Amino acid sequence: MNKVENNRAWFLVTPVFLLVAFSAVIPLMTVVNYSVQDIFDQNTAYFVGAEWYREVLNDPRLHDSLLRQFIFSGSVLLIEIPLGIAVALMMPTRGWTASASLILLAIPLLIPWNVIGTIWQVFGRADIGLFGWALNSIGVDYNYASNPMDAWFTVLLMDVWHWTSLVALLCYSGLRAIPEAYYQAARIDRASNWAIFRYIQLPKLKSVLVIGILLRFMDSFMIYTEPFVLTGGGPGNSTTFLSQTLTQMAIGQFDLGPAAAFSLIYFLIVLLVSWLFFTTITHLDKAK
């Protein structure tokens, strides 16, 4: 076959090239640029190499919020994934109740983050919030504004309320895709309900669970709005997660150099953990 050389064909990739450049490469490179310089004003900037990275990596404030972040994301996954699966298993499959429960589950997903924060901020107040008032009136000393444990509990509850639906809906669609013959065969093989779940439903849910775990990990790892609206990261620093620490550093203190270095590290952590999840799960799959 004759191949025609035509270098003008390169122009065809220009739109994609420009799009990727403006949406990803240029902003990211700007951050890289900041992260290796110490900038005083428009005309004064010094190249500092890996200095900011070293500083950021040794900052105890960041260590603390990184630890908090991992505990938070871990708890989110530990609660939302099993709960989502359980909800999906219990959802009706036919009739109007099926549609009704789908709509009901979709509602939290449609609410903007800051509205969620506001809802729970009011809902949890001991004086005018139903939730806070109810807890206090049955004798539980609940106050998210002063007690770190209560604040944590509220942020977690908020996230579970907001996002379990996503896992449940993903699992629901996965469950619907299992052919009836599997259940029939399992009955004939005298499988218990647990065995049906363990050997039919769970394996068939694996691909949607990978998506669910990745989405929930990435999202919860970057949580910002909800704790910010609820307590502004407090009480103390108890609900100050990574993204808020970063914002304080970049906007509050205007330490652009360290903030840029930190952004890149943050980005790499999300990438690394997601990659680890993904490869572990796909590798488990390939094992003979």
Partner 1 sequence: MAEIHLKALAHSYSDAPKGPADYAIREMDHVWKQGGAYALLGPSGCGKSTLLNIISGLLSPSDGDVLFDGKRVNDIPPETRNIAQVFQFPVIYDSMTVFDNLAFPLRNMKVPEAKVQAKVLEIAEILELQDMLKNKAKNLTADEKQKVSMGRGLVRDDVSAILFDEPLTVIDPHLKWKLRRKLKQIHEQFNITMVYVTHDQLEASTFADKIAVMYNGQIVQFGTPRELFESPNHTFVGYFIGSPGMNVVEVQRHNGGVTFNGVDIPLDDGLVDFLNQVPGNNLKIGIRPEFVHVSGESVLGAYEADISHLEDLGTYKILTFRLGGETMKARLDEDQEVPSGKAYVSFPKQWLKLYVDEYLVEDTYDE
Site of interaction with partner 1 (CB under 8 A) = 179, 181-182, 184-185, 187-192, 195, 199-200, 202-204, 287-288
CB of 197 to partner 1, least distance (A): 12
Q: Are the C-beta atoms of residues 213 and 280 closer than 8 Å to each other?
A: no
CA dist., res. 140 & res. 133, Å (int): 10
What residue type is 255 in one-letter code? D
Nearer to partner 1, 42 or 192 (CB): 192
Nearer to partner 1, 77 or 204 (CB): 204
Give me the residue label for tokens 């009011």. Answer: 122
Nearer to partner 1, 2 or 192 (CB): 192
Nearer to partner 1, 157 or 191 (CB): 191
CB of 88 to partner 1, least distance (A): 19
In DSSP terms, 41 is beta-bridged to: 44
CB of 287 to partner 1, least distance (A): 8
Q: What values do phi and psi take at 287, rounded to 5? A: -55, 135
CB of 191 to partner 1, least distance (A): 6
CB of 187 to partner 1, least distance (A): 5
Nearer to partner 1, 141 or 285 (CB): 285
Nearer to partner 1, 61 or 187 (CB): 187
CB of 196 to partner 1, least distance (A): 10
Instruction: Give the CA dihedral 186, 197, 275, 285, nearest 10 degrees.
Output: -20
CB of 181 to partner 1, least distance (A): 4
Nearer to partner 1, 90 or 188 (CB): 188
CA dist., res. 193 & res. 234, Å (int): 45
